Amino acid sequence: MTDTSAPAQPVRALSLARIEGALPWIALGLVGLLLPLLDDSYIGVIAQRAFIYWILSAGLNLVVGYAGQIAIGWVSMLTLGAYTTAALTAGTATPAWHPYLALVAGGAVGALFGVIVGLPALRLRTFYFAMTTLGFATIVTQVALAWKEVTGGGVGTPGPVFPWPFDPGWGFYYFCFILAALATWMTANLASSRFGRALVAIRDAEVAAEASGVAKPRLLVAVFLFAGALGGVAGGLFASLQSYITPDAFTFEMSVLFFIAILIGGRGSILGPALGTIVLTVLPEFAAPLVQWSTFLYAALLLLIVLIIPGGIADLLDYKNRRPLERHREIVPRPELLARVLDRRTGGEVLSLANVELSFGGVRAIAGLDLEIRPGEVHGLIGPNGSGKTTTLNVISGYYAPEAGQVRLGDAVLPPRAPHLRADYRIARTFQTPRLIGGASVLDNVMIGGTIDGQGSFAESLLTLPRHRRDEKRLREAAMLALAVVGLDQLAAVRADRLQHSELRFMEIARALMLRPACLMLDEPAAGLSADEIRRLGALIVAISRQGTAVLLVEHHADLIFDICDRVTVLNLGKVLAAGTPAEIRSHREVVSAYLGA
Amino acid sequence: MFASIVSYGLAVGAVYALIGITYNVMFSASRVFSFTAGMLGMLGGVLGALFIAKMGLPAIVGLVLVLACGAVIGLVTELLTVRPVLKSIEQHLYVLSTLAFALMVQQLTAVEWGTEAQPFPRLIPIGPGWLDQQFWLPMLACAVTIVGLELLYRKTLIGRAFLAIAEDSYAARALGLPETQLRMASFALAGVIGTLAGFTGAEMLLAFFGNQSILNFYGFVPVALGGMGSNRGAVVGGLALGLFQQAANFLVGGIFAAVAVFAVFIIVLLLRPEGLAGASTARRV
Amino acid sequence: MPISAPEPLLEISGLASGYGKIGVLRGIDLRVGVGEAVALLGPNGAGKTTLLRAVSGLLPRTGAIRFAGKDMAGASPRDTVQAGLVHVVEGHRVFTQLSVFDNLLLAGYGMTRDERATQVEEALAFFPDIAAKRQDRAGTLSGGQQQMLAVAQGLVRRPRLLMLDEPSAGLSPVLVDRVLAAVARLREGGTAVLLVEQLIEKALAVADRVYALARGSIVLEARTDEADLPNRLEHAYFGQDVNAPLSS
């Protein structure tokens, strides 16, 4: 079959799913829009509270649900926003501000502190970060209590009253509604953009994200900024809704409520957490005798979710991914499509290691290694355990800095210790254990590989401006094509964690192809594959190299190495033991004895 | 004023140190950071006040009961919130499961005991002044705990087994050590230490459900700064934190103290994520 | 399979195991007789370490495992150790914070105090190098001494079968010989040994029988005194007869 058109059907199925996904939002929007017709101010207040909580949760959802950062003290953003807006409006610290301006300032303060609280997430372990957000929430409350001149201390301070058009009553209701809708729209835009995918990739497959060129610090800072701003704005609105705020109003339990709403809803979903927020806001109103137990029940719910359905409601509702997949699937790569995926302008450069040395704690892992991987060739790297193969890969990938020597691509020296910059040099790789985003579709997983080719900014994605839409379209098409090349296009819409191990290996290759690599490094791609699959893999690898890509293949599978490599380097004790054509290596006595350990 | 800063600071610091040790004991056996450390401290005070002041039991009986409750709660923590999520420890679900459990207990306390801070009975009538039990009791508890743990680790086989599991649980398992039982024992022990901290510190901190989050945070600070798993770090860090806090409270006021502690905490961790005294341990896969 | 077989001690059939979704081993049949020394060889990534882990219960597995007549299918590492099947894991992972003596005491966890003391002394008698350093912290030992300590830990239980995972890794040739000499002595004393090694010739010198593992399956089983063995091993390592596991 030499049909070179990639099947477009899954793309259409995806856009259908999009329309289907919008239905609940339209329903929610209509309810929100028409609720004032009931003219029940009690219901109005509850709805406003739900809107306000959701404005905060929408931002927090990006932090918790997408980036996977356990920020349990996010109520502090609400507190900061509320006091900033209230104090500026009341003029306790400065001349009085206009309430709308004060609200903007509340958002700005939230954004600032969002970043400050978020910074530790870049370096600290999960629990440490959770604890710093918790500590921050405690301290904000303590300061609110103690800084009496500005916050009124324990007595409190009046909240801002917004003038027309969003004056108290239904005007303010629509203000909250509009802002909630806006928050939803922006987070949904972001979540479905390359930034949203990169966030999830950082959560589930950080190494792969790095290798695809995702710059974690910049991305997380942007998200914390945005989530903090939403929290601050929610705080300003909250202060107005409460009409009078005291530090007691911002209990840690509220943080838990936001957090649980997101987890109940499910990680990596927006609708789920939105429904969770609504349910948790409304529920206590129907169970007045239980109010004092509400936090207890929330906590119990959290425990149950963690233990029983860590995926949240979104997972339970994900009926599409329970449809059984065909059991006996075959991966049929179509290397003939490769020319359309790989852009030959970037190829044609030699990756070379010159006299690279590296030792760990006195043990020489690599001792003066020279290696040249040429475009258009498959270069096999073999050797016994501990011979330095993986270390070599990690040096090229930028995880380790060599103590001596250089790694070059063409004439450019690759910066050491900068794995996230390798993508810029069009150096792609796969991993010994496939690194995947289990909860995302195969297509999304592959699109991660093209992250650096996006041109739109974070803000453009928030507002879904034209450049963002062009990026998305291009990335999606490229990913479908890459999937067709490796033979997985029929599975594009399937959750990646439902794939078989061998399919994941091919998916990783598709992700790597998204970079249109000048150099492709494959780390034991044949491990766990059947003999048939290995044959197809071999043909695919050869085809990739013939497009002008330099391929480095680390593999234990001797048959594959000798079958497809143009050149083989054998490492032993961090040095080149032998190098040459497969035939030369196969008959090299020293190699045989190194393998046999004599 | 100097004497009161020192005595009060060291006493609070001893409580922080003990909560820090509680974190460590649980962490060493399971690689899990548990939000139940502060909860245990809070319960030590509340249960002590309940048994001794409300129910009128003799002090020593009350203490034993409190510690027994602590051990049981430790076991429940292990069974309910740690063991089920241990298989996928890299997902950090324990952060949520232990937090959820701690919150449930805290809310139960708030509803059944009340949200007002209540006084803790005086057990030993010495003082007032810096000889008051509220100052030396936490320090005594801290000293007893450290000596006790040292004896446990150095002199008993089960103590060595704790150290072995903490260092390399895979090798310990391969050697046939009963990892599960040892982990349960560790959590029970942590329960005893945590409630002891709360019990001895309660005259100062009162029997108050809100102590949970404060102890959670201030008990964690010395551990994070001193290096996870290091009891020496926890004690030095805890006492230093207590002294610093009291001095700042007296000299420049509470806001500054709180903000300064937090700022130091974040800055130190950003510069040295493994803590001031902790070595960056290379993980063996 | 007309190998004059001693009474079977460990019998494995149809064993499969792996890490999560990644199957590493499938259809493993393997047997170790009472007092027999068996080498388990194979290229990198063949699944040797995985096989030992699966047998000792450190990894979940399916298939039948019988040891000394007992069914070990659902056994935990603790069960296997108590049954007399001891696994010395790769990379001389001793407890560096504890003394040499304490390391050995721990290996006897659950034994009576007297029994433990006797056994520890007996294990130390095997390795005079480390007996002299019994009060030193294990972290101060050299790599070779740590490996000896790890083997000594395995001996404290007086196992019927000792599984050693690459005891030679990272050791100098002299130390390798020492460790393997200890293995040979063990075998003379009647302890069965299942030895995973990279150093093929040295392993063959110690063992009675050999299995080769490649890509998760047993591809060769032979007596070590077989004349054509090096050739067959080379084939097993470099492929070609992968699909025709030797059955004669």
Quick one: chain A helix, strand, coil %, rounded to 5? 60, 10, 30
Label residues B156-174 b or e (16+ Cβ within 10 Å = b). Answer: eeebbbbbbbbbbbbbbbb
Question: Which backbone phi and psi does B169 adopt, to 5 degrees?
Answer: -70, -25
Answer yes or no: do C197 and A596 touch at CB < 8 A: no
Closest CA to C205 of C227, C181, C178, C235: C181
A558 with A426, same domain: the answer is yes
Q: Is residue A495 part of a domain?
A: no
Q: Would you state the pLDDT for residue A314?
A: 66
Domain total for chain A?
2
From the list A433, A586, A596, the residue facing C233 with the nearest CB is A596
Do A245 and A157 form a contact (C-beta atoms < 8 A)?
yes
Answer yes or no: do C89 and B178 touch at CB < 8 A: no
C169 part of contact set with chain A, CB < 8 Å: yes
Q: Would you state the pLDDT for residue A150?
A: 87
Closest CA to A471 of A65, A197, A226: A197
Neighbours of chain B (3+ CB pairs under 8 A): A, C
Beta-carbon count within 10 A of A30 CB: 10
- What DSSP string runs through C118-172? HHHHHHHHH-HHHHTTTTSBGGGS-HHHHHHHHHHHHHHT--SEEEEE-TTTT--
Question: Which backbone phi and psi does C30 adopt, to 5 degrees?
Answer: -155, 150
The residues in B 124-163 lying below 8 A from A, measured between CB atoms, are: none
Q: Would you state the pLDDT for residue A589?
A: 78
What is the distance between the alpha carbons of residues B145 and B44, in angstroms, rounded to a whole number? 15
Closest chain C residue to A505, measured at CA: C22
| Domain of residue C189, residue span | 8-92+145-238
- List the CATH number of the domain containing C20: 3.40.50.300
Do A486 and A331 form a contact (C-beta atoms < 8 A)?
yes
Interface test with C, best of A502, A559, A596 (most C CBs within 10 A): A596
Do A459 and A224 form a contact (C-beta atoms < 8 A)?
no
Q: Is residue A360 part of a domain?
A: yes
A115 with A248, same domain: the answer is yes
Answer yes or no: do B269 and A306 touch at CB < 8 A: no
Q: Would you state the pLDDT for residue A2?
A: 44
What is the distance between the alpha carbons of residues B73 and C176, in angstroms, rounded to a whole number? 50
Q: Angle at CA B255, nearest 5°, toward B251 and B256?
A: 55
Closest chain B residue to C93, measured at CA: B171
Place of tokens 């020593």: B60
Residues of C within 8 A of B164 (CB-CB) are 95, 98, 106
Place of tokens 């258009």: A376
Closest chain A residue to B115, measured at CA: A292
What is the distance between the alpha carbons of residues C154 and A32, in angstroms, rounded to a whole number? 70
The low-confidence residues of chain C, meaning pLDDT below 70, are 1-5, 238-248
The low-confidence residues of chain B, meaning pLDDT below 70, are 126-131, 277-285
Answer yes or no: do C110 and B176 touch at CB < 8 A: yes
| Domain of residue A394, residue span | 335-435+516-596
Closest CA to B77 of B111, B52, B50, B43: B43
Domain total for chain C?
1
Closest CA to A210 of A398, A475, A483, A478: A398
Answer yes or no: do C93 and B284 touch at CB < 8 A: yes
C102 part of contact set with chain B, CB < 8 Å: yes
A407 with A549, same domain: the answer is yes
Q: Would you state the pLDDT for residue C173?
A: 78
Closest chain C residue to A562, measured at CA: C238
Q: Is residue A447 part of a domain?
A: no
Answer yes or no: do B157 and C89 touch at CB < 8 A: no
Place of tokens 């100098």: C172
Label residues B143-153 b or e (16+ Cβ within 10 Å = b). Answer: eebbeebeeeb
Q: Rounded to a whole number, what is the distance in Å from the CA of A63 to chain C's nearest CA?
A: 28
Please report, in tens digits, the pLDDT of each residue of chain A (598 residues total).
444 454 445 555 556 666 777 888 999 999 998 888 888 889 999 999 999 999 999 999 999 989 988 898 899 999 999 999 999 999 888 898 999 999 999 999 999 999 999 888 887 778 888 888 988 988 898 888 888 888 888 888 999 999 888 888 889 999 999 999 999 999 999 999 999 999 999 988 888 999 999 988 999 999 999 999 999 999 999 999 998 999 988 887 788 888 888 888 887 889 889 998 998 888 878 777 777 888 888 889 889 988 887 766 666 666 667 777 777 788 889 988 888 888 665 557 899 999 999 988 767 888 889 999 999 999 999 887 778 888 899 999 998 889 999 999 988 999 988 888 999 999 999 998 889 988 889 999 999 999 998 888 999 999 999 999 999 999 999 999 999 999 999 999 998 988 888 999 999 999 999 999 999 999 999 888 888 899 999 999 999 999 889 999 998 888 888 899 999 999 888 889 899 999 888 888 777 776 655 4
Label residues A558-595 b or e (16+ Cβ within 10 Å = b). Answer: bbbbbbbbebbbbbbbbbbbbbeebeebeebeebbebb
Q: Rounded to a whole number, what is the distance in Å from the CA of A311 to chain C's nearest CA?
A: 19
From the list A134, A253, A302, the residue facing B216 with the nearest CB is A134
Q: Would you state the pLDDT for residue C247?
A: 34
Closest chain A residue to C25, measured at CA: A528
Answer yes or no: do A303 and B104 touch at CB < 8 A: yes
Q: Is residue A493 part of a domain?
A: no
Q: Is residue A456 part of a domain?
A: no
Query: From edge to edge, which strands make up the β-sheet containing C61-67?
Result: C22-33, C8-19, C61-67, C70-71
C95 part of contact set with chain B, CB < 8 Å: yes
Closest chain C residue to A531, measured at CA: C243
Q: Is residue A483 part of a domain?
A: no
Q: Rounded to a whole number, what is the distance in Å from the CA of A250 to chain B's nearest CA?
A: 14
Interhelix angle C100-107/B157-167, rounded to 10 degrees, is 100
A165 with A251, same domain: the answer is yes
As given in the structure block, the two tokens for residue A356 are 């690279």
Q: Is residue A247 part of a domain?
A: yes
Q: Would you state the pLDDT for residue A222?
A: 96
Q: Is residue A506 part of a domain?
A: no
A303 with A393, same domain: the answer is no
Q: Angle at CA C206, nearest 5°, toward C201 and C208?
A: 105
B185 burial (CB, 10 Å; 0-12 / 13-18 / 19+) is buried
Answer yes or no: do C242 and A559 touch at CB < 8 A: yes
Answer yes or no: do C109 and B167 touch at CB < 8 A: no
Closest chain B residue to C95, measured at CA: B164
Q: Would you state the pLDDT for residue A255?
A: 83
By a Cβ cutoff of 8 Å, what residues of chain B touch chain C? 157, 160-161, 163-164, 167-168, 170-178, 284
From the list A120, A147, A302, the residue facing B100 with the nearest CB is A302
Residues of A within 8 A of B216 (CB-CB) are 131, 134
Answer yes or no: do A70 and B92 touch at CB < 8 A: yes
What is the distance between the alpha carbons of residues A176 and A52, in angstroms, rounded to a whole number? 6
Distance of CA A336 to the CA centre of its chain: 32
Residues of A within 8 A of B36 (CB-CB) are none
Residues of C within 8 A of B162 (CB-CB) are none
From the list B91, B107, B255, the residue facing A295 with the nearest CB is B107
A160 with A188, same domain: the answer is yes
Question: Which backbone phi and psi does C98 adopt, to 5 degrees?
Answer: -100, 160
pTM of the model: 0.87
A312 with A418, same domain: the answer is no
As given in the structure block, the two tokens for residue A178 are 């509009």
Do A477 and A456 form a contact (C-beta atoms < 8 A)?
no
Interface test with B, best of C50, C58, C78 (most B CBs within 10 A): C78
Do A250 and A141 form a contact (C-beta atoms < 8 A)?
yes
Answer yes or no: do B95 and A70 touch at CB < 8 A: yes
Answer yes or no: do B177 and C105 touch at CB < 8 A: no
The residues in C 163-222 lying below 8 A from B, measured between CB atoms, are: none
CATH number of B2-271: 1.10.3470
Closest chain B residue to A308, measured at CA: B84
Closest CA to C45 of A7, A522, A385, A347: A385
Task: Enumerate residues 6+ apart whose C-beta is below 8 A from A252.
Answer: A73, A75, A134, A137, A138, B213
Q: Would you state the pLDDT for residue A4?
A: 47
List the beta bridge partners of residue C213. C218
Q: Rounded to a whole number, what is the distance in Å from the CA of C152 to chain A's nearest CA?
A: 25
The β-bridge relationship of strands C61-67 and C70-71 is antiparallel
A103 with A243, same domain: the answer is yes
DSSP E strand boundaries for A50-186: 157-158
Answer yes or no: do B160 and C58 touch at CB < 8 A: no
Q: Report which DSSP code applies to A571.
A: E
